[in-house]
Structure 1
Amino acid sequence: MKQVTISTPFITLIVLDYGAIIQKVLVKDKNGKSVNVVAGYNTPNSYLEDNKFLGACVGRYAGRISNGGFELDREMYHLFQKDGVHLHGGKEGFGKKYWTIEEVHQGRQPFVKLSYHSKHLEEGYPGNLKVFVTYKLINNQLHIIHEASTDRTTVVNLTNHSYFRLDDESQINDYDLQLHCSKLVETYTDLLPTGKLISVKETSFDFLKKRKIGTTRLDTPFVLDSGSKIAGMVSSQKTGIAMEISTNQPALICYTPQEFPAICFETQNYPDAPNKKNFPNSKLRPGEIYKNESLFVFDLL
């Protein structure tokens, strides 16, 4: 397993070729101490046994798909499912594959670019898909760029699955969270979408104004407000570290696991969009380029 480190005076990023995983993101806290702000393992081989998608590139379709598959151009494609749900690309998905390190640049704006070739009907998805993910550092900013092209019509939804942990506390209740999301994708108990978008107002999911996470636990597809460049912000008073998220994607899935204190911000399309005609387009056709550009900016309060 290969490991690549790039850094600026503000951020150090460690990436693995396995799963295109972000292993560590090191930033300075208010006391000048270096803090790893993503949950993960110190030993790269430990990720071989991980089932939480820690730091991984998730695909071919991030999130949940219903009905054991989808219909595309009048043809049905069958996907692996568990309890009626297809999750994060299937049995393995991109987070369990070895990627090719295409390029490493250590200059003023360092980056690492990785690629993966997903063959036609891998995990049931049509089309030979060529995927690239680029992690780029500009001063105090982490840019994550997912790109893909295909030789036949398919569906694509890629994201990074890092769990952010801004301090060493045993819970995240005291994190301040703000989301520029007036609506969320309504889901059933199995977290598959109903097809409806509902208002967050007067619910525990209303983070339109900055407030403590408190006891609210999330596994929630939020809809980004149109016209808002910034999707959200999270911060820890203990370390003084704040992180701002912006993206060109329509949704921000926020997830707080029960097992450890952290929060995911998955910038992506709506879950189950291949089966919901009223959801944003998830199709990628030959000659088109899929692109998910997301930006994580670290600062001090």
Structure 2
Amino acid sequence: MNSMTPPQTLDIQGLRITLPGTARPVLDGVDLTIAAGETVALVGESGSGKTLTSRSALRLLPPGAVVEGAVKVGGQDVLTMNTKELRALRSGTVAMIFQDPRAAINPLRRIGDFLTESVTLTKTLSQADATARAAELLQAVGLDASALQKYPGQVSGGMLQRVMIAAALMGDPALLLADEPTTALDVTTQAEVIALLAKLRERFGTGLLFVTHDLDLAAAISDRVYVMYAGRIVESGPAEALFAHPRHPYTAALLASTPRLEAPQGRLAAIDGQPPDLRQELHGCPFAARCPLATEICDQQAPQPLPAPGTPHHQAACHHSDLLEGSSARA
């Protein structure tokens, strides 16, 4: 890296995580980067490793996890931090918006206490300054400062998710992790939250990792997209190029199975089979058993990421990506 090039907000290299009782890594050589002010989407089926990848930026790992590789935030490796450094990271540098806001906030405490607790305990701000900061952020997410005096049960799910976004921004994080933050919300509120995250990213210059299984949401909010399957990144690239011309059969299958109003009548396309069992080793491509393009080499040899012709930042780990060249999932 050039000495004048600033470090990535998040730089994950070769991340491999193995859990007790598994025959293969839950995450297997994951590479992922996010620049300052950039939104990156991480998509894939449930159980593919998206949440674990995002939580690695906070070193929130399952008990007994064996970890290899590097997870750097602002150039510092989270996996080698001591307790003091890790506490500072979690209280300000990196923040996370969890999928279910009601499971992440104490229902017996006022919203104002929830918002100000972390910065007052770490003495980052005085109580008065913290309250003023909380009121400012509530206004930024479209809520009135009167919400500070309310309990979580007195506001709607959409409002509470906005509170969680405000809480995540209290410490001016360089990196914001959003783990399917719109899953439990209605469509209108989903759109509002997406627009809000985009606006806040521009205002605060925060890098955003948006974890989702909804490809349309990923297309709407992200600059770049990583597609994950069975703990591996199978495709990555600029959002527009990846969705218009997928280079991996799994990405193409996900796009084909997305419900659309303009789609022809009939059964919705589905991906046959099941993801590979963690109790079984993988020797080749993890998607081979479900892939219509699979050949003998797919079962024997794991494919390496290769750039698309003329688009070096669009890569796919597939032996037969050339067969998808020129395809358009939106056509």
TM-score grouping bracket, smaller chain normalisation: under 0.3
Decide which structure has greater strand share.
1
The structure that has the greater radius of gyration is 2
Structure whose residues are more often helix by fraction: 2
In the superposition, the TM-score normalised over structure 1's length comes to 0.26
Higher relative contact order (CA 8 A, sep 6+): 2
